[in-house]
C-alpha cells in the first residue's frame, strides 16, 4: 500500500509560475485521471514528481509513504517506486533496450537478476505489448515510431513494477488496436499489483478502458474541479468552456476564483447548470 | 587456443600471421608489416595503451579474412597509420574503441585491390577532454576491384561543449560495380537523455557503464575467445568509468 501526497505544490520554470498550491493524494489501487486544456500544467506536475531538473519547486511538498520525495534524486525516486511513462520518450543511441532494462531492474535489487529470468520477463512483456521480437537488441527508442515508443514505456513499466505510475499522454500516437493493447497491459499490471496511478490524457476512449476512480481538471496550474467518470463524459462532449464560465476563469491568465469537488450527483447538477 | 596474455611488440616487425587469434600489446613506436596467408582467418587484437605511434601495413591475401580490434583507453597520446590491402576475395573487419583523453590521431586506409573484396570499418570514441582527437577513415576501391563492398561508420560521444573531435570518412571509388557507404555521428548526451535514464533508477555510474558498453561491445564482439573478451571488457569498463564519471556529474 503506497500513498503519494502532494500538498500546496507550486512550481515554476525559468521563474514563470506553472503550478500553484496544488494538492492531490493518490493511493494504491486508485486511478486518477488528470484532464485539462493544453499548457495548463499537467505534464509539469508529472515531471515535477519524477524530478525533472527543468522544473523548480517554489512551495509545498511531495511525500511518498511519509518520505520526502523532493529531497530524493531522480534515480532514488524511481527506486522508491515512482514511474513516469513520458509523453516524448527519449532516444538513447548506443544503449540497447536489454542492457538498459537489465540495469534498471538490477538498480532496485540487492543481487543482479539471473539472465534467464530477465529474458523470460522481457520476452513476456514484449509479447504482451506486441512489440517486434528484436526490441531487446535495438537501441533504446532509436528509430522507433511514436506508437512503438509509447508501448516501450509500458514494457518498462511492466518490468519495473512501480507503486505509483504516471502516464503522460501515453495514448497519443497509438492506433485504436494499440490503444486497447496498452490499456489491457496497464490494467493487467494494475490488477496483479495494484498501483496508484495518475493518468494524463485528453481522450475519453483511453479512460473508458482504464476506469479511473477519480477525475481532476487542472486549469491555470491548479486543480479546479474533481469528480468521477461522468466528468470525463461531459468534457468529451462539451469541452472546457462550461468550466471557465462556471468558475469564472479567464483561460488566458492565471486568475481563478475557487476550486470545487464534484461527486456523481454534483456533476449531474453541473450538467443541469445548477452549480 | 586461448591466448589471453599479450605478445608485446615494439620496433620493426615483419610477420606472417598463421595463428587464428593474436593479442598484441604494442609498445613505444611500432612498425608492423603483416601478411595474412591465403584461405585463412585471423583476428588481431591490438592493445595500443602503451603505444606512442604505430605504422601498420597488412596484405590480406586471396580468400582470407582479417579482423582487427583496436583498443586505446589510456591517457597516452598516439599517432596511428593503418593501411590494409585486400586481394581477390579477401575480407577485413576493423573495429576500434578509443577514450579521447589525450591527443590521439588515426589515419586508416583500406584498399580494395582485388575482385569481390569486403571491408567494414567501425570506430567508436568516447571523448572526455579538449585534446585533439582525429580519425580519418579512407576506403579506396581501385579500378580492378569489381564487385566490392566497403562500409564505414564513425561514432563519437562527447561529454561537454569543450570536447573536440574530428572524424572524416572518405570513399575513393574507381569501379562503380560496388556497394559503399559511410556515416559519422558526433554528439553529447543531453540532459534530457540523462534524466530519462535516471528516471528508470539508473545512477550516474550505471549510466556511464551503459554508455561504455554501447561503445565497447561492438569491438569486443570481434574477438572469438571468451576469456580474452571478458578480460578486456573488465579492463576497459574500469578505465572508462573512472575517466567519464566526473565528466557526467
Name the residue with higher pLDDT: A269 or A201. Answer: A201
Give the mean model confidence (pLDDT) for residues B128-156. 90
Question: Which chain B residue lies closest to A98 (C-alpha atoms)?
Answer: B210
Mean predicted confidence (pLDDT) in B70-85: 90
Q: Flag whether residue A160 sits within 8 Å of chain B, measured between CB atoms.
A: yes
Measure B88 CA to nearest chain A CA, in Å. Answer: 34
Q: Spell out the long-range contacts of A43-46 with Cβ–Cβ below 8 A and sequence spacing 24 or more.
A: A43/A87, A43/A168, A43/A169, A43/A200, A44/A11, A44/A13, A44/A18, A44/A19, A44/A221, A45/A6, A45/A9, A45/A11, A45/A19, A45/A198, A45/A218, A46/A84, A46/A166, A46/A168, A46/A198, A46/A200
Compute the average pLDDT of residues A63-92.
96
Cβ A75–B157 below 8 Å, yes or no? no
Q: What percent of chain A has pLDDT over 90?
A: 78
Q: Is residue B205 part of a domain?
A: no
Which chain A positions have a beta carbon within 8 Å of B190's beta carbon? 90
**Would residue B243 count as lying in a domain?**
no
Q: What is the layout of strands, in order, in the sheet containing A222-227?
A: A82-85, A164-168, A196-200, A31-35, A214-219, A222-227, A260-261
Residue A268 has pLDDT above 80, yes or no: no
What rounded mean pLDDT belongs to chain B?
A: 87
Place of cell 527506486: A79
Q: Tell me the domain boundaries of chain A.
A: 3-271
Instruction: Give the CATH number of domain A3-271; options: 3.20.20.80, 1.10.3720.10, 3.20.20.20, 3.40.50.300.
Output: 3.40.50.300
- CB distance from B206 to chain A under 8 Å? yes
Q: Which residue in the block uniquely carries the three cell numbers 562503380?
A: B176
Structural domain contains residue B181:
yes
Query: Based on the structure, what is the number of domains in chain B?
Result: 1
Question: Which chain B residues touch A90 with a CB distance below 8 Å?
Answer: 190, 192-193, 195-196
Alpha-carbon gap: A142 to the closest alpha carbon of chain B (Å): 12
User: Which residues does chain A have within 8 Å of residue B198's beta carbon, measured at their own beta carbons?
Assistant: 51, 73-75, 78
Instruction: Inspect the interface and report whether the beta carbons of A107 and B209 lie closer than 8 Å.
Output: no
Is 60 exceeded by the pLDDT of residue B23? yes
- Which has more pLDDT, A257 or B195? B195
- B11: its cell numbers: 620496433
Name the least confident of A227-241, B142-156, B209-223: B209-223
pLDDT band, residue B5 (cuts 50/70/90): low
Question: How far apart are the two ends of chain B, measured CA to CA in Å?
Answer: 43
Q: Does any domain span residue B239?
A: no
Per-residue DSSP letter, A237 = H
Q: Which of A49, A74, A161 to mutate to test the interface with B (most CBs of B within 10 A)?
A: A74
Which pLDDT score, from 0 to 100, does residue A4 have? 97
Range of B15's domain? 7-189
> What whole-number distance in Å separates Cα of residue A101 and Cα of residue B200?
8
B230 touches chain A (CB under 8 A): no
Residue B179 lies in a domain: yes
**What does the pLDDT read at residue B49?**
87
Q: Which residue among B191, B202, B206 sits closest to A53, beta carbon to beta carbon?
A: B191
What are the chain B neighbours of A91 within 8 Å (beta carbons)?
A: 193
Checking if the pLDDT of A266 tops 50, the result is no
Residue B2: per-residue pLDDT = 44
Grid-cell match 486497447, residue found: A180
Amino acid at each position: 500500500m503506497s500513498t503519494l501526497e502532494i500538498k500546496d505544490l507550486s512550481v515554476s520554470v525559468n521563474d514563470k509560475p506553472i503550478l500553484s498550491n496544488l494538492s492531490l493524494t493518490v493511493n494504491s489501487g486508485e486511478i486518477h485521471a488528470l484532464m485539462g486544456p493544453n499548457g495548463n500544467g499537467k505534464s509539469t506536475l508529472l515531471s515535477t514528481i519524477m524530478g525533472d531538473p527543468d522544473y523548480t519547486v517554489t512551495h509545498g511538498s511531495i511525500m511518498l509513504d511519509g518520505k520526502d520525495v523532493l529531497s530524493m534524486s531522480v534515480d532514488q525516486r524511481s527506486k522508491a517506486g515512482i514511474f513516469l511513462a513520458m509523453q516524448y520518450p527519449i532516444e538513447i543511441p548506443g544503449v540497447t533496450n536489454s542492457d538498459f532494462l537489465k540495469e534498471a531492474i538490477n538498480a532496485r535489487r540487492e543481487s543482479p537478476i539471473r539472465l534467464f529470468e530477465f529474458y523470460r520477463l522481457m520476452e513476456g512483456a514484449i509479447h504482451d505489448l506486441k512489440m517486434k521480437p528484436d526490441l531487446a537488441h535495438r537501441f533504446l527508442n532509436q528509430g522507433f515510431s511514436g506508437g512503438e515508443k509509447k508501448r516501450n514505456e509500458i514494457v518498462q513499466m511492466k518490468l519495473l513494477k512501480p507503486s505509483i505510475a504516471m502516464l503522460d499522454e501515453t495514448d497519443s500516437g497509438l492506433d485504436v488496436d494499440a490503444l486497447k493493447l496498452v490499456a489491457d497491459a496497464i490494467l493487467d499490471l494494475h490488477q496483479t499489483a495494484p498501483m496508484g496511478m495518475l493518468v494524463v490524457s485528453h481522450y475519453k476512449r483511453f479512460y473508458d478502458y482504464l476506469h479511473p476512480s477519480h477525475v481532476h481538471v487542472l486549469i491555470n496550474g491548479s486543480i479546479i474541479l474533481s469528480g468521477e467518470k461522468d466528468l470525463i463524459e461531459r468534457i468529451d462532449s462539451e469541452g472546457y468552456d462550461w468550466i471557465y464560465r462556471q468558475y469564472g476563469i479567464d483561460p488566458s491568465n492565471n486568475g481563478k476564483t475557487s476550486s470545487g469537488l464534484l461527486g456523481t450527483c454534483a456533476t449531474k447538477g453541473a450538467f443541469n447548470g445548477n452549480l | 587456443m586461448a591466448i589471453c596474455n599479450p605478445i608485446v611488440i615494439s620496433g620493426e616487425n615483419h610477420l606472417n600471421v598463421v595463428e587464428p587469434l593474436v593479442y598484441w600489446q604494442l609498445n613505444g613506436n611500432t612498425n608492423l608489416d603483416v601478411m595474412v596467408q591465403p584461405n585463412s582467418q585471423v583476428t588481431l587484437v591490438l592493445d595500443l595503451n602503451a603505444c606512442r605511434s604505430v605504422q601498420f601495413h597488412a596484405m590480406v591475401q586471396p580468400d582470407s579474412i582479417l579482423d582487427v580490434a583496436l583498443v586505446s583507453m589510456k591517457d597516452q597520446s598516439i599517432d596511428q597509420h593503418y593501411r590494409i590491402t585486400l586481394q581477390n576475395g579477401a575480407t577485413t573487419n576493423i573495429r576500434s574503441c578509443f577514450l579521447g583523453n589525450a591527443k590521439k590521431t588515426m589515419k586508416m586506409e583500406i584498399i580494395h585491390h582485388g575482385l569481390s573484396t569486403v571491408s567494414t570499418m567501425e570506430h567508436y570514441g568516447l571523448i572526455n577532454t579538449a585534446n585533439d582527437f582525429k580519425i580519418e577513415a579512407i576506403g579506396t576501391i581501385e579500378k580492378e576491384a569489381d564487385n566490392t563492398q566497403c562500409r564505414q561508420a564513425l561514432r563519437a560521444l562527447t561529454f561537454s561543449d569543450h570536447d573536440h573531435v574530428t572524424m572524416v570518412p572518405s570513399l575513393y571509388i574507381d569501379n562503380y560495380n560496388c556497394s559503399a557507404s559511410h556515416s559519422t555521428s558526433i554528439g553529447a548526451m543531453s540532459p534530457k537523455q540523462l534524466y530519462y535514464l535516471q528516471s528508470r533508477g539508473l545512477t550516474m555510474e550505471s549510466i556511464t557503464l551503459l554508455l561504455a558498453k554501447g561503445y565497447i561491445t561492438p569491438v569486443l564482439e570481434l574477438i572469438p575467445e571468451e576469456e580474452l573478451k571478458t578480460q578486456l571488457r573488465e579492463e576497459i569498463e574500469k578505465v572508462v568509468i573512472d575517466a567519464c564519471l566526473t565528466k557526467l556529474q
